[in-house]
Chains A and B, each alone.
Chain A
Amino acid sequence: MTDLIVSALIVIGGFFGLVGSFGMVKLPDLMTRLHAPTKATTLGVGGVLLASIVYFTAAGSISAHELLISLFLFITAPISAKMIAKAWLHVHRTADDLPATGRPYGWSNYDAPPPDDEVLDGFPKGTPAPGKAK
């Protein structure tokens, strides 16, 4: 029974890992390419780590330290994807290519942040934010 579960998890994990890298080769530009490794590959590694947990727990010793790796990967994958997207925007796009923020201050990628004592929730102090009860 555990053989079946471990094998299924490894096969699922391997498949998703392959899909993630295939997407990175196949998709047309960086912003779409970001989707494949950050979602599919994370799921693939999660499957493999789950398989390892099941395998070592069934072998006798309760083993949960693989959870550390999966937790770490699940936290860090979106952060690195956000950093890569931000750096790509910084190098390949200007502020004119993006839609307006609808706020008094521009995109944080291109404009220096306003001083801390001037803003509250992204608006100048004293003007109430729309749709927000005082």
Chain B
Amino acid sequence: MIDAALLFGFGCFSLALLMNLFRLAKGPTLMDRVLALDTMVINVIALIVLYGVRQDTAVYFEAALLLAMVGFVSTVALCKFLLRGDVIE
């Protein structure tokens, strides 16, 4: 049963990634693209966690945590750059 649910989860998040890619390509504003990238990172975290459940190991947990941190910092840095013209003042 878990295998079927995992398949469904992989399908859902892959489709979600494709939708994000569409928004990333289409725009129309720069902030839309930033939002799309931010959501992509979150979806990839979900995919990594699902893959860890499928492989029955906890090895991929650190990758997910690192990705969460890098995704947040990059989003804030991009917004800060647009707001102030500089990342760290």
Contact = CB atoms under 8 A, between A and B. Distances in A.
Contacts of B35: 24, 30, 33-34, 37, 84
Contacts of A55: 2, 53
Contacts of A56: 53, 58
Contact of A69 (B6, B20, B31, B65): B65
B55 to A, nearest CB: 12
Interface in A98-125: none
B76 interface: yes
Given A22-B19, A48-B49, A55-B53, A76 B68 contact: yes
A31 to B, nearest CB: 10
Contacts of B20: 21, 24
Contact of B13 (A17, A80, A91): A17
B29 A30 contact: yes
A55 B55 CA distance: 12
A20 B52 CA distance: 23
B13 A14 contact: yes
Nearest to A75: B72
Given A80-B75, A91-B82, A72 B65 contact: yes
